[in-house]
């Protein structure tokens, strides 16, 4: 399934350009327990204010989530997840100046969000956790992120094992692409994500980040999310609130290898990283 990555991401009839610098997806967690900003934006007005603040700082996509998927997190039922994200979408969904993504594994939550103005579904299960998700994406024409995850959030970090982590993740994503197409989802709707931190050790994460370019061989745009994650804290021995410099290094490496989207918390700082890493990459390619 090899082809040149599309120069756009098709999402509910909109064409999101992907032929220039890497896009910044700003993270908005409307949860009490997310690993990096849990509880910070649980208040709906604070969440809306932060959304527009990220856009002002340079976010080109906003990813809204109502269920924590951090290691050890327990699942949230669909009623609670909808209760958390629906007011934000009602407030900004159809008037947001940038595309909105809904970070969910549940078809009912995705359908609600798409009805209220979201145009992308970011599914960390790669369409596996809800048998109805593929149909929702296909029928709506939404953009979709297919991510790799080993195990479930509750247990995924207990003992992740791979023989060849890069090869196995790439094979998983290739299979996910086949399943998506079989269910009526067009390839130009799909972005793939190797799932940094989702069922991976520090070594696994480092291998995936240092080989990001290999995922481009799938012929699809690639998104990477490394922001403030535990492997960074383990390497530099810093708590979550002091991992921005480590995040910047990982983001720069990913961008230098050609990823199309970076998913981050600290939008303003990572915008600067994007500009430098992208300029260095483009200069190197032109030598």
What residues act catalytically? 229, 263
Q: How far apart are CA 46 and CA 265, in angstroms?
A: 15
Asked if residue 227 lies in contact with residue 257, where contact means CB atoms within 8 angstroms, the answer is: no
Output b/e per residue, 87-108; b: 16+ Cβ within 10 A. bbbebbbeebebbbbbbbbbbb
Question: How big is the CA angle at 162 (ends 161 and 164), to the nearest 5 degrees?
Answer: 165
Q: How far apart are CA 24 and CA 275, in angstroms?
A: 11
Q: How far apart are CA 215 and CA 219, in angstroms?
A: 8
Q: At what angle do helices 165-182 and 202-210 cross, to 10 degrees?
A: 70
Question: How big is the CA angle at 57 (ends 54 and 61), to the nearest 5 degrees?
Answer: 50
């Amino acid at each position: 399934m090899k082809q040149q990555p599309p120069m756009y991401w098709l999402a509910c009839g909109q064409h999101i350009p992907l032929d220039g610098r890497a896009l910044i997806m700003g993270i908005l967690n409307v949860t009490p327990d997310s690993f990096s900003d849990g509880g910070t934006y649980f208040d709906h007005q604070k969440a809306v204010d932060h959304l527009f603040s990220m856009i002002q700082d340079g976010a080109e996509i906003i990813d809204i989530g109502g269920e924590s998927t951090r290691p050890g997190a327990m699942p949230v039922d669909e009623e609670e997840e909808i209760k958390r994200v629906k007011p934000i979408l009602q407030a900004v969904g159809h008037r947001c100046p940038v595309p909105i993504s809904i970070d969910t594994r549940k078809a009912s939550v995705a359908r609600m969000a798409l009805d209220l103005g979201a145009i992308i579904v970011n599914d960390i299960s790669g369409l596996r956790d809800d048998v109805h998700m593929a149909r929702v994406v296909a029928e709506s024409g939404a953009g979709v992120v297919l991510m790799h995850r080993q195990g479930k959030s509750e247990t995924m970090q207990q003992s992740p094992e791979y023989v060849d982590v890069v090869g196995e993740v790439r094979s998983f994503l290739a299979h996910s692409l086949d399943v998506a197409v079989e269910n009526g989802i067009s390839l130009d709707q799909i972005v793939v994500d190797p799932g940094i931190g989702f069922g991976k050790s520090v070594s696994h994460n480092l291998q995936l980040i240092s080989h990001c370019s290999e995922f481009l061989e799938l012929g699809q745009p690639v998104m990477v999310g490394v922001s403030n994650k535990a492997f960074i804290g383990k390497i530099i021995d810093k708590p979550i609130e002091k991992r921005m410099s480590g995040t910047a290094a990982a983001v720069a490496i990913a961008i230098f290898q050609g990823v199309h989207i970076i998913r981050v918390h600290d939008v303003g700082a990572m915008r600067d990283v994007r500009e430098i890493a992208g300029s260095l990459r483009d200069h190197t390619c032109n030598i």
